[in-house]
Amino acid sequence: MSIVEQAVRRLEELRRSGIEPPARTGRVPVAPQSAPAHAAPAQDEAATPRQVPYVQSEPSESGKASRTVNIDLGALAAAGYLTPETPRARIADEFRVVKRPLLSRIEASAGRPGSNLLMVSSSLPGEGKTFVSVNLAISLAMELDKTVLLVDADVSRPSVLKRLGLPQAPGLLDLLTDPAVGVSDVLLRTNIPKLSLLPAGRQHGRATELLASEAMRRLLDELSNRYADRILLFDSPPLLPSTESRVLATRMGQVVLVVEAEQTSQKTLEQALATLEQCPDVSLLLNKISRSEVGSYYGYYAPDEA
């Protein structure tokens, strides 16, 4: 059975269990992704790569030093993440399947405002937004002609740097609150070619409100235009506990909504989808499918491509 046939079968299973894919045109796929055997959720923090220091500085386009950080790729792979050094790993295959339709739609909408902005969110905490964001960013950066900026927009509970084994650093919140800080002051290059990071930055009392602010809208415009040839991938807060990430979602070209297998309920998913009514393009990604299920199914389904 082909991947697509398998995916269709899984989609039908989801339908039978009451989870309807969004009917509105523009909201498309179910893109499942499985759990690597050695990345059990409860052990994740322990398995996080050890923190390594920044390794070098080099001049950025503003003339200021833009730092390069060194991600411990061996530790990252051991924690269940994909890396450029493990292109044949199962997780790499899975994200190849996930990224393809996202890339097609970025290309199809090229030139439209925000078409290069891609947000990963979910209904509730813990469903796998950061796991998916990090893997998807690395997978996209491994494309021949794609450059990626991974933004930690989960500003009140940032975890991208920690997940990559890197120490905290200034970032998005500093950009939003300190006019003296420029993008190139906080952008971090990495030892993964074509992958840069924009950390969440220094904690701020009104961090989540800032996400929905006019300053954030202006920054998104600036980032989207300045890095028009890059994909900007936002790891974001969950949609249901607070409203700010919903506002952020309206400013994105695409939203990937992570659904946790066996956990996210139909009602919760419906509520989350309702918060994304204003978004032109929402994809569903089924995460943490058990190994046995992966054996019988893994793939991607988009009605307009079947």
Ligand X SMILES: Nc1ncnc2c1ncn2[C@@H]1O[C@H](COP(=O)(O)OP(=O)(O)OP(=O)(O)O)[C@@H](O)[C@H]1O
Interacting residues with ligand X (CB under 6 A): 33, 35-36, 39, 41, 44, 80, 122, 125-131, 154, 157, 159, 238, 287-288
If one asks whether residue 288 binds Mg ion (CB under 5 A), the answer comes out as no
CB of 131 to Mg ion, least distance (A): 8
Minimal CB distance to Mg ion: which residue? Answer: 130
Both tokens assigned to 85:
């050094």
Exposure string (b/e) for 45-84, b if CB count within 10 Å is 16 or more?
Answer: eebbbeebeeeeeeebeeeeebbebbbbbebbbebbbbbb
At residue 152, what is the residue type?
D
Are residues 249 and 119 in contact, defined by beta-carbon separation less than 8 angstroms?
yes
CB of 299 to Mg ion, least distance (A): 25
Q: Which of 190, 236 has the CB closer to Mg ion?
A: 236
User: What string of H, E and C letters represents the secondary structure of 103-169?
Assistant: HHHHHHCCCCCCCCEEEEEECCCCCCHHHHHHHHHHHHHCCCCCEEEEEECCCCCCCHHHHCCCCCC
- φ, ψ for residue 289, nearest 5 deg: -70, 140
With CB cut-offs between 5 and 8 Å by kind, which of ligand X, Mg ion, none does residue 75 bind?
Answer: none
Q: Which of 125, 193 has the CB closer to ligand X?
A: 125
Encoded one letter per residue, x for contact with Mg ion by CB under 5 A and - for no contact, window 135-164 reads ------------------------x-----
Q: Which of 126, 295 has the CB closer to ligand X?
A: 126
Angstrom distance (rounded) from CA 290 to CA 34: 7
Residues 93-132 that bind Mg ion (CB under 5 A): 129-130
If one asks whether residue 194 binds Mg ion (CB under 5 A), the answer comes out as no
By CB under 5 A, the count of residues binding Mg ion is 3
Q: Which of 156, 224 has the CB closer to ligand X?
A: 156
- Residue indicated by tokens 């894919």: 21
Residues near Mg ion (CB under 5 A) are: 129-130, 159
